[in-house]
């Protein structure tokens, strides 16, 4: 017996198949939107646009990708053995659908491509995704209606944020009133794809719903003043938010026949990629934390009680039922690459430079804002070096890495988060020297995940828990722990060095922010 996890990220759709008895990965497969679906004209998974703040993707592409990957899986795996499917998708993106959507789903045929049967259901041909930042006016309007950014954060988990779904819906309803009037259903990317598998419109789960600026985290229901601040009659269009463990029933009969899935294959709601990654990294106990070291860096932690988040942080809900604190740092690998390229290094040369400098970098610091930063909010790029000049490549390499982890440390401390262990994923997690600096700065063990798509693994783990009936610790031990490498252990001898450097970094950051 197998379980299947799917993840629709910005650039690709990934499938992970687990053996339900052992938790072992039996098959992985990815489909790249640009490469494998070139007819949609995307670049890095999104449509080119002259205005860089407008970032959309074609939702029909996601439907075709789902069709393609399940078809491909049917030739590689005995899908008749799949007992359950769960999924995740890039957070915050929204899909706009006509009142014909339910009938189209109910009438799906097994002998025709999925995308062709959905072509007429969209009231908006493209979907704004998490990279879209065109909604500043709408964010301010939502914050004002709810009593200010702090009040919005207290209720929904985040201050009104340009990339979140609520502001995106508001902008569409405000600027395209006729198309909005033709919209009967609004779904996130996750709930849109889950609806395709279920053969009926399904609601948004709490994890992805907590990234919309629309849900009250305390009650797990839509917050009426937030809905009213966004658009009229929004609740009907959204449907009700649902627990991530809610069962959606069984796979749509037409899709079961099309891909060779059993009619008894059970479905779970899809969630956001970050909550799903938390499960795929084994964050199922209080205090567990993870690092995603990619284009942007993300620090997230789960806790049974809601953390006291600073203004730039976000609180989501995890599929495990816990709260999940999240900090996104725009200057992730892009900043590290900027230093590498400025000094004409390859990654081996960058690592060697880290080895030629001591922990603490002799007090030399960098505020690594090579591009506008999210945490802390820095609207205009501007790198600051303290105690050294830009031409020192060795100092630069250590300063950029230490600066990034010092910023994470300050945010974690402000939220009352005390990591007991960090699981790391992403491209930079392949670099043992970078992980050792993370362990030393944050003073906790850091283990690297050997699974490249932890969101897809997290979806499969959710499906495994459904069919096994086990608790979260049991399924994580079976399906996640085997993919975690040996820990980089913090060195006690450098703890005082980084405690002092953290204080220096905090002062330098505060001065820079005051100076604008």
Domain extent listing, the chain: 2-274, 282-448+486-516
Instruction: Give the pLDDT band (50/70/90) at residue 418.
Output: confident
Average pLDDT estimate for 143-160: 97
Return the higher-pLDDT residue of 56 and 516.
Answer: 56
Q: What pLDDT score does 338 carry?
A: 94
272-314: pLDDT as tens digits:
999 999 999 999 988 889 998 988 899 988 888 888 888 888 9
Average pLDDT estimate for 322-350: 93
If one counts every other C-beta atom within 10 angstroms of the C-beta of residue 102, the result is 17
With pLDDT > 70 as the criterion, what percentage of the chain qualifies?
Answer: 100
Which two structure tokens, joined as six digits, stand for 491? 């060195």
Q: What pLDDT score does 374 carry?
A: 85
376-389: pLDDT as tens digits:
988 888 999 999 99
Instruction: Evaluate if residue 268 carries a pLDDT over 90.
Output: yes
Which two structure tokens, joined as six digits, stand for 113? 């491509």
Q: What pLDDT score does 402 carry?
A: 98
Q: What pLDDT score does 308 carry?
A: 83
C-beta of residue 105 within 8 angstroms of C-beta of residue 200: yes
85-138: pLDDT as tens digits:
999 999 999 999 999 999 999 999 999 999 999 989 999 999 999 989 899 999
72-85: pLDDT as tens digits:
999 999 999 999 99
Q: What pLDDT score does 312 carry?
A: 80
Average pLDDT estimate for 233-240: 96
C-beta of residue 340 within 8 angstroms of C-beta of residue 230: no
Q: Which secondary-structure segment (H or E) carries 249?
A: strand 249-250
Which two structure tokens, joined as six digits, stand for 247? 């069962």
Q: What pLDDT score does 67 carry?
A: 98
CATH number of the domain located at residue range(s) 282-448+486-516 in this protein: 3.30.420.40
C-beta of residue 327 within 8 angstroms of C-beta of residue 417: no
pTM: 0.90
Instruction: Evaluate if residue 444 carries a pLDDT over 90.
Output: yes
Average pLDDT estimate for 328-348: 93
For the domain made up of 2-274, give the CATH fold: Nucleotidyltransferase; domain 5 (3.30.420)
Which residues lie across from 152 on neighbouring strands?
A: none
Closest to 220 measured CA to CA, from 195, 245, 192, 247: 245
Q: What pLDDT score does 287 carry?
A: 80
With pLDDT > 90 as the criterion, what percentage of the chain qualifies?
Answer: 86
Domain 2-274 shares a fold with domain 282-448+486-516: yes
User: What's the distance, CA 219 to chain centroid?
Assistant: 23
By CB atoms closer than 10 A (0-12, 13-18, 19+), residue 271 is: buried
CA distance 221 to 453: 30
Average pLDDT, the chain: 95
Instruction: Evaluate if residue 440 carries a pLDDT over 90.
Output: yes
C-beta of residue 432 within 8 angstroms of C-beta of residue 488: yes
DSSP alpha helix (H) spans, 241-297: 253-259, 273-280
Q: What pLDDT score does 478 carry?
A: 94
Q: What pLDDT score does 148 carry?
A: 97
**CA distance to 210, 215, 313, 417, per residue, from 150 (Å):** 16, 15, 11, 20
Q: What pLDDT score does 383 carry?
A: 95
Q: What pLDDT score does 309 carry?
A: 84
Q: What pLDDT score does 296 carry?
A: 86
């Amino acid at each position: 017996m197998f379980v299947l996890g799917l993840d629709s990220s910005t650039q690709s759709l990934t499938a992970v198949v687990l053996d339900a008895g052992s938790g072992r990965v039996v098959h992985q497969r990815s489909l790249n939107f640009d490469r494998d679906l070139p007819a949609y004209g995307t670049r890095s998974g999104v449509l080119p646009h002259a205005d860089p703040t407008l970032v959309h993707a074609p939702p029909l592409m996601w439907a075709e990708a789902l069709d393609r990957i399940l078809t491909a899986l049917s030739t590689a795996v005995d899908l008749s053995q799949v007992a359950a499917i769960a999924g995740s998708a890039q957070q915050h993106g929204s899909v706009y659908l006509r009142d014909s959507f339910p009938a189209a789903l109910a009438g799906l045929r097994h002998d025709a491509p999925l995308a062709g049967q959905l072509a007429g259901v969209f009231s908006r041909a493209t979907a704004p995704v998490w990279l879209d930042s065109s909604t500043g006016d709408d964010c301010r309007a939502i914050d004002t209606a709810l009593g200010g950014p702090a009040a919005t954060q207290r209720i929904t988990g985040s201050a009104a944020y340009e990339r979140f779904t609520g502001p995106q819906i508001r902008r569409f309803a405000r600027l395209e009133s006729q198309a909005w009037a033709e919209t009967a259903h609004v779904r996130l990317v996750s709930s849109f794809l889950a609806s395709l598998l279920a053969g009926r419109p399904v609601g948004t789960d709490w994890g992805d719903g907590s990234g919309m600026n629309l849900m009250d985290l305390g009650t797990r229901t839509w917050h009426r003043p937030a809905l009213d601040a966004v658009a009229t009659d929004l609740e009907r269009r959204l449907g009700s938010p649902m627990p991530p463990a809610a069962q959606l029933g069984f796979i749509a009969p037409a899709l079961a026949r099309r891909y060779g899935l059993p009619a008894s294959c059970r479905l779970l709601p899809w969630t956001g990629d970050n909550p799903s990654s938390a499960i795929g990294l084994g964050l199922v106990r209080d205090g567990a934390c993870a690092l995603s070291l990619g284009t942007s860096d993300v620090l997230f932690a789960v806790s049974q009680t809601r953390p006291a988040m600073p203004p730039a942080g976000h609180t989501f809900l995890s599929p495990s039922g816990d709260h999940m604190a999240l900090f996104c740092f725009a200057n992730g690998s892009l900043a590290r690459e900027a230093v590498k390229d400025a000094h004409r290094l390859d990654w081996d040369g960058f690592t060697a430079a880290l080895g030629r400098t001591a922990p603490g970098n002799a007090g030399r610091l960098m505020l690594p804002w090579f591009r506008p930063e999210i945490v802390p909010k820095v609207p205009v790029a501007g790198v600051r070096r303290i105690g050294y000049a830009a031409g020192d490549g060795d100092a630069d390499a250590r300063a950029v890495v230490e600066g990034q982890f010092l910023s994470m440390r300050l945010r974690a401390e402000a939220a009352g988060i005390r990591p007991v262990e960090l699981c790391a994923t992403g491209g930079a997690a392949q670099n043992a020297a970078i992980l050792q600096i993370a362990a030393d700065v944050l003073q906790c063990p850091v283990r690297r995940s050997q699974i490249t798509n932890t969101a897809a693994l997290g979806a499969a783990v959710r499906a495994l828990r459904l069919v096994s009936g086990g608790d979260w610790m049991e399924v994580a031990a079976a399906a996640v722990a085997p993919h975690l490498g040996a820990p980089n252990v913090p060195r006690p001898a450098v703890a005082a060095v980084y405690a002092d450097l953290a204080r220096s970094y905090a002062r330098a950051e505060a001065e820079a922010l005051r100076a604008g």
